[in-house]
């Protein structure tokens, strides 16, 4: 009797062991499945964009695509992409003119000059600024910054490229600051102390020692910031409007690639029209633009990083 | 002191002041923004505003439906991102061999985090909206947003898991624990605060996002409060967007947009503070 109970126990234990073995084999595969979702997302993005963009490129002649004439809802629709590209580049340049000087100098202040107590106050404020939703910035640009700028530039349109450009720059400042500051913080103190011991001022240490040593991180933060500006949607949609003019006049309304996508999806473009496919073509170009920027940023920070 | 030294010292002083101004610029903007929204929403932001539904009359309009919509959206995003994000992080940190597959997935995730949100909108519109026929429901919006914020959860979970010291793992292995047992009983419990912080931050990013939902085709005016995940819905940012678009015709909408912005900012602020609180309170230092 006792003996059979022992055998039963052994069998039970063995079954359990096998179960555990099976479990140990299955579980990693489940996790791999979850991890593959991220790859599937990328594949999904590329496929959806490429599939419908292909239909667009098949229907619209290249000459038309590279024209400055964009009128998707006209009787004779025309799909020139240059107005969108110029709108995107111009608003991004304005944003960079705000974000780079202010973001970089703020980073120098935080990493080279600020006392620990000041850093502890300023860093969370930067994080708060970074956490404000872009739609709020958009509303702010349209209802506050544009009227403010109108006092300075009377010819400014109610929708224009200047105001969203500036506000987009403000939105990006925290990103430039925190990435550049990280880069500067990784410069070893021995280098600063060496320069200070030779009689340099803090400014000279910052400009002649720290900045050169942190160049790769700083440049890659700029590139990431540009990519962020190119992909930013709501600020430009609200404050820059939807004029599809090919113009360099920043006091007038212009449309970015992102704003075009938003305008068209919330509009009446039915599925299957050329206008609908143009959405995906613009999306594909936008995706390639930002992907290249991100890869470039990664490349710069890896290739030119100085190891200490 | 000779003149050259004087100039150098002066320059240093000036630069110090100028750099400080740059850093204070952020504070200034934040102040202006909050002040401006605050003054615009005086008289509009009250209990009625939070409790009422949308209405064609600005005075009677409220954001109850939008608040519920945002909360329900979060209720879809949170489980999806936690399950997918944490599993991905566990795979990458605990199971994957250091090699091509691991670095490929890592690179893929860092590239995904740089893809503009509007593109995720197009993905959601095509895959969830049209192919799976979810339309512009909460489920479609939630799944789209989940993919958008997934990289945030993965990266923060990875960091949390990596911060668990190896000697804890080794000790459990030495006692005969299996791989999964170690992860379940040792690694994950120590990593929970970091994972939670990342999840809350990703949720706060998600409920502030507008573009993907607009692309999904969230209708302009929804008077019904959503009751199931298949219902159409609106969220706070969407509401701000539509009110801002119509300020030309109805100036009062600017006040409504400002009041909604304040509510949204307060919500995000509370969530972020909670995340920081968890991080500081529960994070063990080894």
Q: Which A residues in the span 85-144 are in contact with B, Cβ-Cβ below 8 Å?
A: 101-103, 105-106, 108-110, 112-114, 122, 125-129, 131-136, 138-140, 142-144
Nearest to A136 among B16, B127, B240 (CB): B240
B77, pLDDT greater than 60: yes
pLDDT-based confidence at B151, cuts 50/70/90?
very high
B123, pLDDT greater than 70: yes
- B176 with B73, same domain? yes
Q: What is the pLDDT of residue B285?
A: 63
- B28 with B136, same domain? no
Residue A232: burial class (beta carbons within 10 Å; 0-12, 13-18, 19+): buried
Nearest to B26 among A34, A174, A266 (CB): A174
Mean pLDDT score, A181-199: 92
- B4 with B102, same domain? no
Element (H, E) at A82: helix A82-108
Q: How far apart are CA A266 and CA B241, in angstroms?
A: 12
Q: How far apart are CA B15 and CA A203, in angstroms?
A: 7
How far does B215 lie from chain A, in Å, by closest CA? 5
Q: How far apart are CA A134 and CA B237, in angstroms?
A: 9
Question: For residue B264, what are its two tokens?
Answer: 């949204």
Q: What is the pLDDT of residues A231-242, one digit of tens each?
A: 999 999 999 888
Longest dimension (CA), chain A: 102
Contact A135 B15 (CB under 8 A): no
What range defines the domain where residue B35 resides? 1-40
Mean pLDDT score, B100-116: 89
Would you tell me how many other CB atoms lie within 10 Å of the CB of residue A233?
Answer: 28
- B89 with B113, same domain? yes
Element (H, E) at A276: helix A274-303
- B175 with B213, same domain? yes
Would you tell me how many other CB atoms lie within 10 Å of the CB of residue B199?
Answer: 23
A27, pLDDT greater than 80: yes
User: How far, in Å, are A8, A101, B177, B187, B275 from residue A21 at the CA level?
Assistant: 20, 59, 12, 20, 38
- B190 with B123, same domain? yes
% of chain B beyond a pLDDT of 90: 42
Q: Does A276 touch chain B (CB under 8 A)?
A: no
Q: What is the pLDDT of residue A302?
A: 82
Contact B122 A105 (CB under 8 A): no
Q: Which A residues in the span 169-188 are in contact with B, Cβ-Cβ below 8 Å?
A: 170, 173-174, 177
pLDDT-based confidence at B286, cuts 50/70/90?
low
Q: Which residues contact B171 (CB under 8 A, 6 or more apart)?
A: none
B198, pLDDT greater than 80: yes
Q: What is the pLDDT of residues A121-130, one digit of tens each?
A: 888 888 888 8
B113, pLDDT greater than 60: yes
Mean pLDDT score, B228-246: 85
Q: What is the pLDDT of residue B50?
A: 78
- B257 with B126, same domain? yes
How far does A205 lie from chain B, in Å, by closest CA? 10
Q: Which residues contact B148 (CB under 8 A, 6 or more apart)?
A: B117, B120, B205, B206, B209, B212
* A201: helix, strand or coil: coil
- B88 with B14, same domain? no
Longest dimension (CA), chain B: 78
Nearest to A38 among B112, B119, B127 (CB): B112
Q: What is the pLDDT of residue B237?
A: 92
pLDDT-based confidence at B102, cuts 50/70/90?
confident
Q: A83-97, B174-188, B272-286: which has the minimum mean pLDDT?
A: B272-286
Q: Are B211 and A258 in contact (CB under 8 A)?
A: yes
- B23 with B93, same domain? no
Contact A201 B8 (CB under 8 A): yes
**How many domains does chain B contain in total?**
2
Closest A-chain CA to B241: A135
Q: Are B156 and B194 in contact (CB under 8 A)?
A: yes
Q: What is the CATH number of the domain that holds B60?
A: 1.10.3720.10
* B229: helix, strand or coil: coil
Q: What is the pLDDT of residue B283?
A: 66
- B76 with B28, same domain? no
A268, pLDDT greater than 60: no
pLDDT-based confidence at A104, cuts 50/70/90?
very high
DSSP per-residue string spanning A230-266: HH--HHHHHHH---------TTS----HHHHHHHHHH
- B242 with B157, same domain? yes
pLDDT-based confidence at B220, cuts 50/70/90?
low
Q: Are A143 and A91 in contact (CB under 8 A)?
A: no
- B152 with B235, same domain? yes
Q: How far apart are CA A124 and CA A120, in angstroms?
A: 7
Average pLDDT in chain B? 87
Q: Are B230 and B57 in contact (CB under 8 A)?
A: no
Mean pLDDT score, B142-150: 94
Nearest to A135 among B109, B125, B237 (CB): B237
B232, pLDDT greater than 90: no
Mean pLDDT score, B254-276: 90
pLDDT-based confidence at A250, cuts 50/70/90?
confident
Q: How far apart are CA B60 and CA B192, in angstroms?
A: 44
Question: For residue B249, what are its two tokens?
Answer: 């015709």
Mean pLDDT score, B34-63: 80
């Amino acid at each position: 009797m006792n003996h059979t109970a022992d055998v039963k126990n052994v069998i039970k234990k063995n079954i359990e062991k096998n179960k555990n073995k099976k479990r140990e084999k299955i579980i990693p595969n489940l996790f791999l499945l979850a991890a593959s979702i991220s790859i599937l997302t990328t594949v999904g993005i590329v496929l959806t964009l490429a599939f419908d963009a292909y239909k667009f490129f098949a229907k619209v002649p290249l000459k038309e695509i590279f024209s400055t004439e964009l009128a998707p809802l006209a009787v004779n629709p025309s799909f020139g992409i240059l107005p969108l590209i110029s709108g995107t580049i111009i608003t991004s340049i304005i944003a960079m003119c705000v974000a780079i000087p202010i973001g970089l100098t703020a980073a120098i202040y935080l990493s080279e000059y600020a006392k620990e107590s000041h850093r502890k106050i300023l860093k969370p404020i930067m994080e708060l600024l970074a956490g404000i939703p872009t739609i709020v910035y958009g509303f702010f640009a349209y209802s506050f910054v544009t009227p403010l700028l109108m006092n300075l530039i009377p010819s400014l349109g109610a929708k224009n490229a200047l105001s969203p450009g500036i506000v987009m720059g403000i939105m990006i400042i925290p990103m430039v600051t925190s990435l550049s500051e990280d880069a500067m913080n990784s410069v070893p103190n021995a280098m600063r102390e060496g320069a200070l011991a030779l009689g340099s001022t803090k400014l000279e240490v910052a400009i002649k020692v720290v900045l050169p040593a942190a160049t790769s991180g700083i440049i890659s933060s700029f590139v990431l910031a540009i990519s962020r500006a190119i992909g930013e949607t709501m600020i430009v949609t609200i404050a820059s409007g939807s004029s599809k003019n090919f113009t360099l006049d920043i006091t007038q309304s212009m449309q970015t690639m992102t704003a075009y996508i938003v305008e068209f999806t919330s509009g009446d473009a039915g599925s299957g029209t050329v206008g609908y496919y143009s959405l995906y073509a613009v999306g594909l170009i936008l995706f390639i633009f930002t992907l290249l920027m991100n890869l470039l940023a990664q490349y710069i920070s890896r290739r030119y990083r100085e190891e200490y | 002191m000779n003149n050259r030294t004087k100039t150098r010292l002066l320059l240093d002083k000036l630069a110090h002041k100028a750099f400080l101004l740059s850093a204070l610029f952020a504070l200034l903007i934040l102040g202006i923004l909050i002040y401006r929204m605050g003054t615009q929403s005086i008289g509009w932001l009250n209990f009625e505003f939070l409790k009422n539904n949308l209405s064609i009359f600005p005075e009677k309009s409220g954001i109850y439906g939008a608040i519920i919509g945002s909360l329900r959206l979060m209720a879809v995003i949170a489980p999806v991102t936690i399950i997918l994000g944490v599993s991905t992080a566990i795979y990458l940190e605990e199971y994957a061999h250091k090699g091509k597959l691991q670095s490929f997935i890592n690179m893929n995730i860092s590239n995904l985090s740089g893809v503009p949100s509007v593109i995720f909108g197009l993905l959601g519109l095509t895959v969830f909206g049209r192919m799976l026929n979810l339309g512009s429901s909460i489920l479609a919006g939630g799944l789209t947003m989940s993919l958008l914020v997934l990289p945030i959860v993965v990266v923060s979970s990875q960091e949390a898991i990596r911060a668990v010291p190896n000697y804890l793992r080794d000790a459990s292995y030495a006692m005969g624990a299996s791989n999964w047992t170690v992860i379940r009983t040792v690694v994950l419990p120590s990593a929970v605060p970091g994972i939670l912080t990342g999840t809350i931050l990703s949720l706060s990013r998600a409920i502030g996002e507008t573009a993907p939902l607009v692309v999904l085709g969230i209708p302009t005016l929804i008077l019904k409060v959503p009751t199931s995940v298949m219902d159409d819905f609106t969220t706070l940012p969407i509401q701000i967007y539509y009110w801002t678009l119509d300020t030309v015709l109805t100036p009062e909408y600017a006040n409504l947009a400002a009041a909604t912005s304040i509510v949204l900012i307060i919500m995000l602020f509370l969530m972020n503070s909670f995340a920081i609180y968890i991080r500081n309170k529960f994070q063990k230092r080894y």
